[in-house]
């Protein structure tokens, strides 16, 4: 019997289990956080719900989405066999173990929580590095640096939890936002213009409407990388704010040159452009907050977290789930409501962060919209992710 047939469908490619886990955990974690924060649910988190929520979004949810995308894309980059079967299951269990100890951190020793939760990202990085080096795919080794920095940020937050040091917690949080933003700019810069140009070509449009520049691409990514040392060494708010404004403006130019309005007829494409726009706006908001007391200093984090990270995760998952299962690249029926819900969640959570809406009402509505977006993804895409490829090919 063929080996691919013997392996359960959900363990044949990393995107299948990790995308479902991402959707499920997005629902569970935000629902629990909102319940803990607003209804005082007695969860044994061991830390404040705000700190726990920040950690679980940056170092719980996002790494699952990264693993699903990266381990899948890597097979295209290198032609290597996918991680599947027992190896994939073990990696999944590492991630799940991290989430379990974080949920019961109030009942467990801090060192055990930190050790169990920390291990996932280094193991993922070591595996990815081994494949890229073995296949001489040096271009993508920057992603190993990204994973290493994410692991460092996770460690900083755990040190902050253990020592009750708010400075370490904030540093770990900022490092997470900055590194994830860099990753989104790298991945977004590869897939958004390429997918847009391909769609225009297929529809009889002019792919040259989508313009790219290697110099601009490097500048756009470097502008955000610059924030890493500024945040790490505690630069002044004005200096960091100026760097954030520059990053936002450079990436705005990059986004405009991709001509997103040309692909407005295709939901799988306009959602990618919209996600990138939220990233741009988050950096502009961060920069503006450094020069205006009217803008709360942390408002940009919610715009980046819900709008940039949440929207891009859903945009990528809804596309990859179809393309990598041998199905037409179209949004599932009712799938547009996934995008509508995450858009509403972004607008509501940002409005609350800007103190333009009642906190309890706004957070509750934003959480409901977030849960609806990711819950719909799980409902609509579980049949796709749990079924064999439509074209009969392995994977």
Report the pLDDT value the prediction gives residue 270, as an integer from 0 to 100: 97
- Please classify residue 42 by burial: count the beta carbons closer than 10 Å to its beta carbon, then call 0-12 exposed, 13-18 middle and 19+ buried: exposed
Q: Give the whole-angstrom CA distance, residue 325 versus residue 261.
A: 28
Measured between alpha carbons, how far is residue 342 from residues 37, 44, 204, 242, 311 in Å? 21, 28, 31, 29, 6
Q: Report helix, strand and coil shares of the chain as percent, to nearest 5.
A: 80, 0, 20
- Dihedral of CA atoms 232, 237, 240, 246 in degrees, nearest 10, equals 170
Per-residue pLDDT of the chain (395 residues; tens, 9 = 90+): 344 458 999 999 999 999 999 999 999 999 998 988 888 777 788 888 889 999 999 999 999 999 999 999 999 899 889 999 999 999 999 999 999 999 999 899 999 999 999 999 999 999 999 999 999 988 889 899 999 999 999 999 999 999 989 999 999 999 999 999 999 999 999 999 999 999 999 999 999 999 999 999 999 999 999 999 999 998 999 999 999 999 999 999 999 999 999 999 999 999 999 999 999 999 999 999 999 989 998 999 999 999 999 999 999 999 999 999 999 999 999 999 999 999 999 999 999 999 999 999 999 999 999 999 999 999 999 999 999 998 888 87
User: Distance from first CA to last CA of the chain, Å, rounded?
Assistant: 16
Report the pLDDT value the prediction gives residue 45, as an integer from 0 to 100: 80
- Please classify residue 236 by burial: count the beta carbons closer than 10 Å to its beta carbon, then call 0-12 exposed, 13-18 middle and 19+ buried: exposed
Q: Domain coordinates of the chain in residue numbers?
A: 8-385
Report the pLDDT value the prediction gives residue 4, as an integer from 0 to 100: 44
Q: At what angle do helices 62-78 and 142-163 cross, to 10 degrees?
A: 160
Q: Give the whole-angstrom CA distance, residue 321 versus residue 327.
A: 9
The CATH superfamily holding the domain 8-385 is Cytochrome c oxidase-like, subunit I domain (1.20.210.10)
Q: Give the whole-angstrom CA distance, residue 253 versus residue 238.
A: 23
Measured between alpha carbons, how far is residue 375 from residues 189, 264, 381 in Å? 28, 25, 10
For the chain, how big is the Rg over CA atoms in Å?
Answer: 20
Report the pLDDT value the prediction gives residue 239, as an integer from 0 to 100: 96
CB 254, CB 283: distance < 8 Å: no
Provide the 8-state DSSP code for 296: -
Q: At what angle do helices 120-134 and 62-78 cross, to 10 degrees?
A: 10
Q: Give the whole-angstrom CA distance, residue 245 versus residue 280.
A: 9
Cα three-residue angle 44-46-50, rounded to 5 degrees: 100
Task: For residue 279, give the nearest of 367, 142, 178 by alpha carbon.
Answer: 178
CB 308, CB 184: distance < 8 Å: yes
Helix/strand/coil for 230: helix
Residues sharing a CB contact under 8 Å with residue 187, sequence separation 6 or more, in sequence order: 69, 316
């Amino acid at each position: 019997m063929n080996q691919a047939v013997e392996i359960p469908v959900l363990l044949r490619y990393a995107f299948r289990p990790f995308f479902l886990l991402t959707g499920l955990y997005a629902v569970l974690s935000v629902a629990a956080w909102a319940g803990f924060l607003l209804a005082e649910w007695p969860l044994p988190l061991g830390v404040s719900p705000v700190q726990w929520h920040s950690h679980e979004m940056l170092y719980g949810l996002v790494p699952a989405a990264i693993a699903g995308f990266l381990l899948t894309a890597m097979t295209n980059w290198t032609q290597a066999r996918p991680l599947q079967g027992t190896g994939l299951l073990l990696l999944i269990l590492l991630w799940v173990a991290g989430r379990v100890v974080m949920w019961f951190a109030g009942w467990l020793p801090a060192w055990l929580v930190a050790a169990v939760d920390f291990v996932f990202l280094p193991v993922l990085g070591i595996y990815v590095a081994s494949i890229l080096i073995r296949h001489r795919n040096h271009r993508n080794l920057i992603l190993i640096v990204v994973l290493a920095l994410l692991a460092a940020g996770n460690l900083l937050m755990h040190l902050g939890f253990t020592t009750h040091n708010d400075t370490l917690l904030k540093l770990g949080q900022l490092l997470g936002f900055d590194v994830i933003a860099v990753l989104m700019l790298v991945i977004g810069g590869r897939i958004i213009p390429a997918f847009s140009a391909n769609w225009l070509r297929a529809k009889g449009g002019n792919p040259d409407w989508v313009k790219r520049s290697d110099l601009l691409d490097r500048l756009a990514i470097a502008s955000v990388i610059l924030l890493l040392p500024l945040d790490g060494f505690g630069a002044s708010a004005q200096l960091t704010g100026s760097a954030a404004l520059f990053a936002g403006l450079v990436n705005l130019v990059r986004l405009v040159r991709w001509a997103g309005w040309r692909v407005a007829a295709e939901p799988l494409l306009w959602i990618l452009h919209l996600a990138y726009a939220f990233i741009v706006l988050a950096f502009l908001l961060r920069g503006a907050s450094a020069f205006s007391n009217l803008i709360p200093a942390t408002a940009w984090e919610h715009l980046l977290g819900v709008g940039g990270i949440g929207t891009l995760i859903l945009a990528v998952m809804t596309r990859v789930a179809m393309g990598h299962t041998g199905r037409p690249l179209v949004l599932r029926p009712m799938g547009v409501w996934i995008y509508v819900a995450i858009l509403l969640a972004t607008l509501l959570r940002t409005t609350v962060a800007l103190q333009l809406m009642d906190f309890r009402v706004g957070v509750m509505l934003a959480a409901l919209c977030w849960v609806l977006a990711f819950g719909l993804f799980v409902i609509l895409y579980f049949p796709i992710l749990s079924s064999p490829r439509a074209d009969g090919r392995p994977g």
